[in-house]
Amino acid sequence: MNFIQGMAMMGLILTTGWLGAQDTKVETDVGSQLGLGFVELFNGKDLTNWADVNTSPKTWSVKDGLMVCTGKPIGVMRSTKKYENFILVIEWRHMEAGGNSGVFLWSDARPEGNRLPRGMEVQMLELQWPYIHADRNGKPRHLGYVSGELFGAGGMRAIPENPRGSRSMSYEMRCKGKGEWNRYVVVAVDGTVKLSINGKFVNGIREADGRKGYLCLEAEGAEIHFRRVSIMELPDGRAEELGMVLGGELEGKKD
């Protein structure tokens, strides 16, 4: 099977949500067809592959095979390597109602005044967040916040597929609440991001003005756990084919 055929297979799997299945054999088979493979960025034992930026030695730890973040102080931990075109699989769960976190793509890992860096943020909010952070009149915040919203942080700009202001909100609310595991599959290619939540692609953003940088995991006030962080890099010169496969995948959901 040549690379373009492999990309077509990947497109089918992404569109149908197979890559979101719990059976990791699917991912292994896809990687084999593409001549690529996933690398585990979390080994379940320590924080190899990660470097603290502006949190504290107590913020991040490993317990019972899980990466545990206390959420305090607000800040990020970054990957030791920069990434450009890739597929990221990340599994997470909030441990507190209204918890706030996220993963930054293509980040410079240089936090500004709010302690968070520039980058494309893939939001991770617990389902009670809009109610806990209601406005002064008691009206809950927009529910779009809590299901994998995508947005440029720290001045990064991009065009949302399903706009809510400058952010892109999911077409379908698929995140689970406190204590339950969520699975994101993030496809990041040439400034375009497509997001699958728990087995289905539901969000996208494109033409980001930053396309290479660190991954950053965010501490933002509440305990969150990660049990898997895996990445498949897409070599230079091969991202275009995957972009062509995925380019129109979300448009059909607007009808």
Task: State the SS3 of 136-182.
Answer: CCCCCCCHHHHCCCEEEECCCCCEECCEECCEECCCCCCCCCCCCCE
For position 21, what pLDDT does the model report? 43
Judge whether 135 and 124 are in contact, CB under 8 Å: no
List the domain range (segments joined by +) for residue 148: 39-233
Is 31 inside any structural domain?
A: no
Residue 150 near residue 204 (C-beta atoms within 8 A): yes
Taking all residues of the chain, what is their mean pLDDT, rounded to a whole number?
A: 85
Q: What pLDDT is attached to residue 236?
A: 65
Q: Tell me: the pLDDT tens digits for 14-73? A: 544 444 443 344 455 555 555 567 899 999 999 999 999 999 999 999 999 999 999 999
Give the model confidence (pLDDT) of 199-250 as tens digits: 888 999 999 999 999 999 999 999 999 999 999 998 765 555 555 555 444 3
**CATH code, domain with 219:** 2.60.120.560
Query: Could you tell me which of 23, 5, 13, 34 has the C-alpha nearest to residue 232?
Result: 34
For residue 243, tell me if it sits in a domain: no
| Residue 65 placed within a domain | yes
What is the rounded average pLDDT of the residues 157-183? 96
Half-sphere exposure of 194 (CA within 13 A, CB side): 25
Q: What integer pLDDT is reported at residue 243 of this predicted model? A: 53
Q: Which two structure tokens, joined as six digits, stand for 60? A: 């991040």
The shares of helix, strand and coil residues in the chain, as percent rounded to the nearest 5, are 20, 35, 45
- What pLDDT shows up at residue 112? 80
Strands 192-197 and 119-125 turn out to be: unpaired
Amino acid letter for position 16: T
Q: What is the pLDDT of residues 136-153, one digit of tens each?
A: 999 999 998 999 999 999
> Mapping DSSP to helix (H, G, I), strand (E, B) and coil, where does residue 8 land?
helix
Q: Please indicate, yes or no, if residue 21 is contained in any of the structural domains.
A: no
Residue 102 domain flag? yes
Q: Which helix (H) or strand (E) holds 122?
A: strand 119-125
- Sorted by sequence, the CB contacts under 8 Å of residue 137 that are 6+ apart come out as none
Judge whether 74 lies within some domain: yes
> What total of structural domains would you count in the chain?
1
* pLDDT tens, position by position, 75-98: 999 999 999 999 999 999 999 999
- The pTM of the full predicted model, rounded to 2 decimals, is 0.85
Q: Please check whether residue 6 lies inside any domain of the structure.
A: no
Q: Are strands 86-94 and 182-189 parallel, antiparallel or unpaired?
A: antiparallel
Which residues partner with 201 through β-bridges? Answer: 196
Q: Let me know if residue 5 belongs to a domain.
A: no
The whole-number pLDDT of residue 2 equals: 47
